[in-house]
Amino acid sequence: MLRGLSADIAHTWLSGEIQSHLWVVPAFQSVHILAIAALIFASFSANLAVLRSPHGARTMPWLAGSYRWTWTALAILLVSGVILITGEPKRSLMNFFFRLKVLLVIAAAVLTLILQRSLAGPMRGRLPHAALVVLAGISIAAWVGILFCGRFIAYFGDLSGGE
Amino acid sequence: MTDVFAWLEGTPPAAAIAESAWLFPTLETLHVLGLAFVVGSIAAFDLRTLGLAWPARRLETLARDILPWTWTGFAIAVVTGVLLFSNAATDYIRNPAFLAKMGLMVLAGLNVLLFHFHPHQLRFATEGHVSLPLRVSAGVSLTLWTAIVVLGRWIGFV
């Protein structure tokens, strides 16, 4: 299914335009990396605050700001990511590390939502401290995994069979 | 000078990177992680200084909190950056995007010194008061670090 989708995207007008303008891919990759920098700092500072003191994190007034930055950066990552996929569909859709990255992004987004609602939202105080610490630790590991997958796409995991 | 870069390419770490399939992408990933710490923390401080973000965080507290992030990230980025550079030093030294990136990093360093040793720094440190020169310095810092990330990406394309 993804093989067909990859071929269909490659034949669209937009994909052709992106491929014919050589500056588009590095330009959107730059935007992608800037969004990663914002996301990693915002997400890590929130998660590490939870790891240090789950009780203290609940009372930190800046935590809501961290999550706003995380979601804004994630939105920019998704938009720039879709443009990059449109420009090079086979490189991304037909790659093991890209697929793993997508799964990890979904997992990290769900974890962020749970932590946000538990620390500064409607579920405040419902999760025990130990659960918050475990979720924050998994969240950090997921974002690091996403970084590795993002870079490894360029080197490993080609599933296209040389087509 | 070219001999130094050629020698660097022949050192054991550079040879190990050249022979390994996974070492270069792993170092690249760690370089991006380090850069994310540096740029993310500096951008948070600059945006707060300009009054554009993190209004709930006191500027003096934010400055104290982000410093370990910036230095940890910088250490990771420098170590991995030197190792990546050693892999193809003679090529990088002729790459205009790499040279521009290094030039802007020097300017960013000078800007940090300007911020910390500016006569208005005392009022900033004690009262959190941000004067116009300090705001300009924050704007310059934000611009320089954005350009450094962009140039880093362009190294592979020019």
* Residue A163 pLDDT: 64
A64 shares contact with chain B (CB less than 8 Å): yes
- What the block records as the tokens of B3 is 């001999």
A72 touching B, CB under 8 A? no
Could you tell me the CA-to-CA distances from B88 to B14, B66, B150, B155 in Å, in that order? 8, 33, 20, 12
The ipTM value here is 0.87
In a domain, A157, yes or no: no
What would the pLDDT profile of A57-116 be if each residue is shown by its tens digit? 767 777 888 899 999 999 999 999 999 999 999 999 999 999 999 999 999 999 999 999
How confident is residue B130, by pLDDT bands cut at 50, 70 and 90? Answer: confident
Q: Is residue A141 in some structural domain?
A: yes
Q: Which two tokens stand for residue B83?
A: 């190792």
Instruction: Measure the CA dihedral B35/B37/B42/B44, to 10°.
Output: 130
pLDDT of the residue at A84: 96
Do A30 and B56 count as a contact with CB atoms less than 8 A apart?
A: no
Does B147 contact chain A (CB < 8 Å)? no
**Full domain range(s) for residue B117:** 2-154
Cα-based distances in Å from B74 to A1, A63, B8, B30: 43, 24, 22, 11
Residue A80, in any domain of the structure: yes
Chain A residues lying within 8 Å of B154, measured CB to CB? 26, 30
What pLDDT is attached to residue A144?
A: 96
Q: What is the pLDDT of residue B61?
A: 80
Residues B74-83: what's their mean pLDDT?
A: 96
Number of independent structural domains in chain A: 1
Domain enclosing residue A53, as ranges: 2-152
Asked, for residue A159, whether it belongs to a domain, the answer is: no
Number of structural domains found in chain B: 1
CB A72 within 8 A of CB A80: no
CA distance B106 to B113: 11
Q: Looking at the DSSP assignment, which residues form a beta bridge with residue A95?
A: A158
Q: pTM for the whole thing?
A: 0.90
Confidence class for position B144, pLDDT limits 50, 70, 90:
very high
